[in-house]
């Protein structure tokens, strides 16, 4: 008996019992749908977090100032002034460092256009947009000459522009910070909220020298942003920064902390991957239950069709033909169930995304894994019933009532 004939016979057998076939596939449908739905949601969440981490900059290293201990009082990193502009300039000379920005920041009540707004005022170098991978919405970034001359120039985020200059072009207008007039030379492109729920567009950026000598009077910076040439050299650059600052600060213990975006990205990716496999593992239980259902129904089918098997063997069908026929039926059930489950899982994830506005991503590799797994379950679950059918004695089968 040829394979195509076996497929036709298997198809007729399944169509004769449509409801039973559908109920048999239900376990596979639920299992595969759960796998695809959970993976789509977790993959979408992972991509969103990765995009937010990337929005903080590519190959970025942040050097934080140190901690302090004074009697019974203690503070963590960032609580003690240990970093200077000179440290930033020295870091700029390290191999594979392409951009550096000493950073100072304070919250200020600013005024413009007859309105006021409390926002974060940051002192940065002209490299800041490059480091943060932040494009200009309009205007241009201030330059090195502005840093050297302590110029009263500023660029503002989209939130500040909307609050202080509604329906206006802020470029060329003046904003007052601590009653000092700063000329707005550019507006940063909208970035939205970051990984920590902070509005990145609610900011004003001025030359760090202007911040340190005009807005405040300080000699230390809060932190230093550093961009490495690429991710491959980020670890070596981080080590070089650590060695350099230890030498400059003449300290055996670090009075600073060095972190990079790659570490955050890897932590987020590892967590999301673990969650994906956990959810997929839970959903796989349904696949096992579906496989048991297929095996049970196929055993019932063998019993019901014992006389049919005997007739086929009597007219020349071999044991291998009977084995293949029942295997095809089992694989067909699981493959169709897997296909419906994939479509159902994708539909469910799209529905959740539409209702809850969650991002979803359905990796093709997981679709392939789910389909192949359902087919393998069909083979494994159907093999014993098919083997049992192929071993029936033709005479006993014909006598079966």
State whether 272 and 365 are in the same domain: yes
Per DSSP, the three-state class of 348 is: helix
Number of domains in the chain: 2
Please give the residue that has the higher pLDDT: either 30 or 279: 30
State whether 92 and 236 are in the same domain: yes
For residue 64, the surrounding DSSP H or E stretch is strand 60-65
State whether 146 and 222 are in the same domain: yes
Per DSSP, the three-state class of 178 is: coil
pLDDT digits (tens, 9 = 90+) for 142-199: 999 999 999 999 999 999 999 999 989 999 999 999 999 999 999 999 988 776 678 8
User: Is residue 76 one of the residues assigned to a domain?
Assistant: no
Final residue belonging to a domain, choices 206, 221, 254: 254
The model's pTM is 0.65
State whether 99 and 185 are in the same domain: yes
Final residue belonging to a domain, choices 200, 226, 254: 254
User: Is residue 318 one of the residues assigned to a domain?
Assistant: yes
Q: What number of other Cβ atoms are within 10 A of residue 290's Cβ? A: 28
Per DSSP, the three-state class of 135 is: coil
pLDDT digits (tens, 9 = 90+) for 305-321: 677 777 777 777 777 77
pLDDT digits (tens, 9 = 90+) for 196-211: 678 889 999 999 999 9
State whether 189 and 316 are in the same domain: no
User: Is residue 67 one of the residues assigned to a domain?
Assistant: no
State whether 135 and 210 are in the same domain: yes
User: Is residue 69 one of the residues assigned to a domain?
Assistant: no
State whether 246 and 306 are in the same domain: no
Position 73 scores a pLDDT of 43
State whether 23 and 126 are in the same domain: no
State whether 139 and 183 are in the same domain: yes
Position 244 scores a pLDDT of 92
Range of the domain at 235: 83-254
Q: How far apart (Å, rounded) are the C-alpha atoms in residues 106 and 126? A: 19
pLDDT digits (tens, 9 = 90+) for 25-69: 787 888 888 888 877 877 777 777 666 666 666 789 999 886 544
State whether 90 and 230 are in the same domain: yes
Q: Give the contacts of 126 (CB within 8 A, at least 6 positions apart).
A: 141, 142, 143, 144, 146, 147
State whether 233 and 290 are in the same domain: no
Final residue belonging to a domain, choices 207, 224, 254: 254
Q: How far apart (Å, rounded) are the C-alpha atoms in residues 333 and 21? A: 7
User: Is residue 92 one of the residues assigned to a domain?
Assistant: yes
Confidence of residue 370 (pLDDT cuts 50, 70, 90): confident
* pLDDT beyond 90 at 294: no
User: Is residue 75 one of the residues assigned to a domain?
Assistant: no
User: Is residue 60 one of the residues assigned to a domain?
Assistant: no
Please state which of the ranges 3-17, 61-75, 326-340 shows the lowest mean pLDDT.
61-75
State whether 16 and 124 are in the same domain: no
* pLDDT beyond 60 at 99: yes
User: Is residue 70 one of the residues assigned to a domain?
Assistant: no
């Amino acid at each position: 008996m040829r394979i195509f004939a076996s497929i036709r016979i298997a198809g007729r057998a399944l169509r004769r019992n449509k409801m039973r076939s559908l109920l048999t596939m239900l376990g596979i449908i639920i299992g595969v749908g759960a796998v695809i739905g959970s993976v789509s949601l977790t993959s979408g969440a992972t991509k969103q977090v990765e995009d937010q981490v990337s929005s903080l900059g590519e190959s970025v290293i942040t050097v934080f100032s140190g901690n302090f201990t004074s009697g019974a009082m203690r503070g963590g990193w960032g609580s003690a002034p240990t970093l200077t502009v000179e440290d930033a300039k020295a870091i700029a000379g390290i191999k594979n460092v392409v951009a550096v920005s000493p950073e100072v920041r304070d919250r200020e009540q600013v005024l413009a256009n007859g309105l006021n707004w409390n926002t974060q005022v940051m002192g940065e170098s002209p490299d800041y947009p490059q480091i943060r991978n932040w494009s200009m919405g309009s205007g241009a970034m201030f330059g090195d000459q502005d840093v050297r001359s302590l110029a009263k120039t500023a660029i503002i985020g989209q939130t500040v522009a909307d609050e202080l200059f509604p329906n206006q072009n802020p470029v060329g207008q003046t904003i007052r910070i601590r009653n000092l007039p700063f000329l707005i030379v550019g507006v940063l492109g909208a970035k939205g909220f970051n990984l920590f729920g902070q509005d990145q567009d609610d900011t004003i950026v001025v030359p760090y020298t202007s911040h340190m000598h005009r807005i405040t009077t300080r000699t230390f910076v809060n932190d230093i942003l550093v961009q490495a040439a690429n991710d491959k050299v980020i670890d070596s650059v981080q080590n070089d920064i650590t060695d350099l600052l230890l030498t400059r600060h003449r300290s055996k213990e670090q009075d600073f902390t060095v972190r990079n975006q790659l570490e955050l990205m890897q932590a987020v990716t590892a967590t999301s991957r673990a969650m994906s496999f956990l959810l997929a593992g839970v959903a796989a239980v349904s696949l096992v239950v579906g496989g048991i259902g297929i095996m049970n129904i196929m055993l019932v089918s063998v019993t019901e069709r014992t006389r049919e098997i005997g007739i086929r063997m009597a007219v020349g069908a071999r044991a291998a033909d009977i084995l293949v026929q029942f295997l095809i039926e089992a694989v067909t059930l699981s493959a169709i169930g897997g296909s419906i489950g994939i479509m159902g899982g994708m539909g469910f994830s799209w529905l959740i995304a539409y209702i809850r506005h969650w991002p979803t991503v359905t990796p093709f590799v997981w679709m392939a894994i789910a389909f192949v797994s359902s087919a393998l379950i069909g083979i494994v679950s159907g093999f014993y019933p098919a083997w049992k059918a192929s071993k029936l004695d033709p005479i006993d089968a014909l006598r079966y009532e």
